[in-house]
């Protein structure tokens, strides 16, 4: 049996930029990518806390330490700078892996600074 589980999430990230003319994706500070256990080009779900909108895109590295959360291409239409979002990645595990898996849940403040870890 295969079970889809949360790998990691950035909780209440603040959108710092949007670029409709970029080819698409979400730009995330490399420090935050690592903290959440994401990989470049990995599919993620984005949940806009302000609007309730939900969509998929993929991760690209932003400058380390920049605290950037930037939506690009078509996804730029789904957010406004300043919106708070949840960015989540999921993976498929067998039952044994799923039983011991612990997701990386990163809690952020309004400046995208890490303020804690959740569950």
Domain spans in the chain, listed from the N-terminal domain onward: 2-92+101-117
Pairing of the two strands 104-108 and 2-14:
parallel
Average pLDDT over residues 21-39: 95
DSSP state of 69: E
The per-residue pLDDT for 23 is 81
The predicted pLDDT at position 74 comes to 92
Give pLDDT, residue 114: 98
pTM of the full structure: 0.95
Which residues are catalytic, by number?
25, 58
Confidence of residue 24 (pLDDT cuts 50, 70, 90): confident
What letter would DSSP give residue 63? P
CB-neighbour burial class of residue 95 (10 A; exposed 0-12, middle 13-18, buried 19+): exposed
Fold classified for 2-92+101-117:
Barwin-like endoglucanases (2.40.40)
Single out the residue of 10, 12, 14 nearest to residue 111, CA to CA: 14
- With a cut of 80, say whether residue 3 has pLDDT above it: yes
At residue 110 the predicted structure's pLDDT band, cuts being 50, 70 and 90, is very high
**Is the predicted pLDDT of residue 119 greater than 80, yes or no?**
no
Q: What percent of the chain has pLDDT over 90?
A: 95
Burial class from Cβ neighbours inside 10 Å (0-12, 13-18, 19+) for residue 53 reads: middle
């Amino acid at each position: 049996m295969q079970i889809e589980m949360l790998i990691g999430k950035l909780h209440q990230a603040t959108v710092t930029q949007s670029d409709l003319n970029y080819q698409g994706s979400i730009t995330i500070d490399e420090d935050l990518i690592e903290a959440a256990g994401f990989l470049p080009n990995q599919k993620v779900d984005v949940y806009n806390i302000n609007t309730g909108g939900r969509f998929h895109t993929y991760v690209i590295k932003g400058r380390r330490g920049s605290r950037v959360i930037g939506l690009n291409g078509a996804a730029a239409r789904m957010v406004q700078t300043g919106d708070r979002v949840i960015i989540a990645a999921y993976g498929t595990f067998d039952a044994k892996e799923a039983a011991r898996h612990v997701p990386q849940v990163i809690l952020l403040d309004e400046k995208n600074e890490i303020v804690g870890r959740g569950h």
